[in-house]
Structure 1
Amino acid sequence: MSLQRFLQDWAIPALIGLAMAAALLLLFPHLRGQTEKVPTVGSFQGPVSYASAVNLAGPAVVNIFTRKVVSQRRHPLYNHPLYRRLLDNMNLPQQERMQSNLGSGVIVNAHGYILTNYHVVSGAEEIAVVLADGREAQAKLVGSDADFDLAVLRVELDSLTAIEVGDPDKAQVGDVVLAIGNPFGVGQTVTQGIISATGRDLASTGNGSYLQNFLQTDAAVNPGNSGGALVDAYGKLLGINTSILNQSGSTGGISFAIPANIALKIMQDIIEFGRVVPGWLGIEAQTLSPQLARSFNLASTNGVIITATYNQGPASLAGLKPGDVITHINGDPINDGKHGVAAMATLRPGEVVTITYIRDREVRTTQATVSEKPQPQARD
């Protein structure tokens, strides 16, 4: 068989067939054979184990033990309601005793600063910190704020592991979270759950606070967890565990954490100024009701309506007036007054914010320089 005939009878048709097959596969990808991939161990790391997250965050979570002196009546009948008033009037000598308390804390930088709850260290005569590696040190109370239920401690130790901070503003309902702390004094313990809600206000629960932007989780949080870390699935700090909602004193699947960005801002204020310095715009505002929204021809009730501005305050200097409806601060929606308070809690005097507002059914923007709220002047 000659080469020319071979090419005509076999080679050229085969090449044409291969070209047509390639074209069909390109046009119809579903015709390609699917090769089954064997999952690797690493591909299961997320849903099967959060050990890497715990290994990252765990060394930054500490156990806190406090001691304080409390006074008590020595008479055995003092606790009887019929004799208590009588014994009080007798001015019996009181007996002092030491009371121990426990909680948790989070190392937030290598300089030894630790965030915990105010109620963990309130009134403490001594504060001891035990690290995850077993080291123990006496802690100094740098400062605290009861309104935010936060306190800042400091220890003088070398080779401290600081926690990596996440972004609680991006936390979504359903995200997996881990609570790390020292429940009931048993030692460092990790519990797992999800974010149950964000921007939660506790005023209606009896656990009211200046802050109205808590993260809610169903991760088990018990006495002793207070001040510990709420971290995401990658071990990054989302919040400081602060309270539970259960009358029995143990977790009922509803617990709350202060967002990490707010806690860190408060810590910086305490370190720098010795107290919390919340941002102030110099306005009085109220939530938009459906009736107010209709009267201002607004399509929704999102935002707050300014009812008054302080003369020469940041909002007044920025051109805002009573009747304006603030809808966003720095691009974050202000759905109601609670969100406005939460937004201001993360700002510091001197920061410039962009405010989006509605006036005469027109969306406008302006910039205002946040200031500190003026202290009331003493009257003569």
Structure 2
Amino acid sequence: MRFSQLPKSIRQFTTHVLAVILGVVLTVGTLRVSPSQAEPAPSPLTTDTPQLVAQKQSPAAAAIGSSSFVTAAVNRVGKAVVRIDTERTVTRRIPDPFFDDPFFRRFFGEGFQGQLPPEQLRGLGSGFIIDKSGLVLTNAHVVDKADKVTVRLKDGRSFEGKVQGVDEVTDLALIKINAGDLPVAPLGASSNVQVGDWAIAVGNPLGFDNTVTLGIVSTLRRSSAQVGIPDKRLDFIQTDAAINPGNSGGPLLNERGEVIGINTAIRADAMGIGFAIPIDKAKQITAQLERGGKVAHPYLGVQMLTLTPQLAKQNNSDPNSPIQVPEVNGVLVVRVLPNSPAANAGIRRGDVIVQVEGQSITTAEQLQNIVEDSRVGQVLQVKIQRGNQTQQISVRTAELQNASL
């Protein structure tokens, strides 16, 4: 039966019920989408504008937005980050035992003198511009023994670079390119960095140009000996921002886009750990590198080991131990280099350095830092424990010629 054929009273009742049901549905739908019901009304006491709210956001909160603090930091520095390509010609000789073998002589010919054809080795690294006149800071190992250095800017331009100065002890190098009015990376202060701060690495890892990775500062003052490169004199910034081959020499940034370090080291036996040279160290020697002069580092001339009473007891209880050492906190002299300041002053193997210039010494890293902060030719008052006796020795530092302290 059609609706129109129903009695009038039934048609009126059905129409009224449908109207009520439809009204309820529309009301519920409005409640679900109405902004005034979905969110509480703003308090009349609230005076923050959208701009003030944005300023109060933490970097982490800002990162949720469409334009994060990472984007702002990279935009501030990105144009000043460069790619560094190097070329080096290597000539190799066949070892004499093989060179004298008749097979090799027949293979290479009778006129062969044991020298193989020159080989071109190519390297890749990163750097960043610190002066608009064309000064580029990078790692010393990036340009080590390079015959040709090419600096490639983010805008596609390439320049031949001249290595202005190198300091292998701090693994820093300065390159000069003939260009003007270049973008410059703003330098921060690594002394203000704290564990937990944001860390942004920018560079060209594995040949992938203009790569950005994000992490935090994991720890500070990680010694070069702990990192596994004892031939350097550095306390690194450790970060979990991804750093790979090719990142070396590139900047490590804080959340404001300021350079706080120079990415330099990777532990092959660890995942997600990288190390950067504090930018304050680079600031100390940049002027010397620009002049092309050698950076002078003072040294004593000892190989050393941090000593504790527990380690000393273990050594002394070993019947095969070559020496007996005092059971104290200090730095054990493992070896004295010939003709070094320490040797000339009378320091011996087995001595324990317990004080320098009136300051107690408990770790090898502490002693190294004190020596590094001194001057070449400065006389240091060193207190040592030799057996059961304590002696005061004057040691005049000399200029470091190799990586030993």
The TM tier, using the shorter chain, reads 0.5 to 0.7
Q: Which residue matches 2:271?
A: 252
Contact 1:62 1:132 in 2 (8 A): yes
Q: Please show how residues 225-236 of structure 1 align to structure 2 within 5 Å.
A: 225-236=247-258
Which letter does structure 1 place at the counterpart of 2:249? G
Which stretch has the larger CA shift, 233-242 or 267-276?
267-276
1:54 to 57, 74, 93: 74
1:325 to 323, 346, 355: 355
Which stretch has the larger CA shift, 202-211 or 214-223?
202-211
Quote the offset at 1:209 in angstroms: 2.9
Q: Report percent identity of matched pairs.
A: 34
**CA offset digits 1:221-260 (Å, max 9, x no partner):** 111101111111111221111111125xxx8211111111
Contact 2:136 2:174 in 1 (8 A): yes
Query: Cα distance 1:339–1:374, how it changes in 2: closer, same or farther (>3 A)?
Result: closer
Q: Distance in 2 between matches of 1:105 and 1:236?
A: 14
Q: Distance in 2 between matches of 1:171 and 1:224?
A: 24
Quote the offset at 1:350 in angstroms: 10
Contact 1:180 1:189 in 2 (8 A): yes
Q: Please show how residues 1-380 of structure 1 align to structure 2 within 5 Å.
A: 35=45, 40-44=53-57, 46-47=59-60, 48=63, 49=68, 50-71=70-91, 91=113, 94-247=116-269, 252-272=271-291, 274-279=293-298, 289-290=308-309, 325-326=355-356, 336-342=363-369, 344-345=371-372, 373=399
**Structure 1 unpaired stretches of 5+:** 1-32, 314-321, 358-369
Q: What secondary structure does 1:108 align onto? A: strand
Quote the offset at 1:208 in angstroms: 2.8
Quote the offset at 1:144 in angstroms: 1.5
Quote the offset at 1:181 in angstroms: 0.8
TM (norm. structure 1) is 0.64
**CA offset digits 1:34-80 (Å, max 9, x no partner):** 95676623433622122222222222221101112234689xxx9xx
Query: Cα distance 1:372–1:327, how it changes in 2: closer, same or farther (>3 A)?
Result: closer
Please provide the CA RMSD for this pair: 4.7
Quote the offset at 1:163 in angstroms: 2.2
Q: Distance in 2 between matches of 1:84 and 1:337?
A: 51
Query: Cα distance 1:220–1:282, how it changes in 2: closer, same or farther (>3 A)?
Result: closer
Contact 1:327 1:335 in 2 (8 A): no
Count of residues paired in the alignment:
310
Q: Distance in 1 between matches of 2:88 and 2:158?
A: 19
Q: What secondary structure does 2:264 align onto? A: strand
Q: Distance in 2 between matches of 1:167 and 1:334?
A: 27
Q: What secondary structure does 1:165 align onto? A: coil
Which letter does structure 2 place at the counterpart of 1:215? I
Q: Distance in 2 between matches of 1:121 and 1:114?
A: 12
Which letter does structure 2 place at the counterpart of 1:258? I
TM (norm. structure 2) is 0.60
Larger radius of gyration: 2
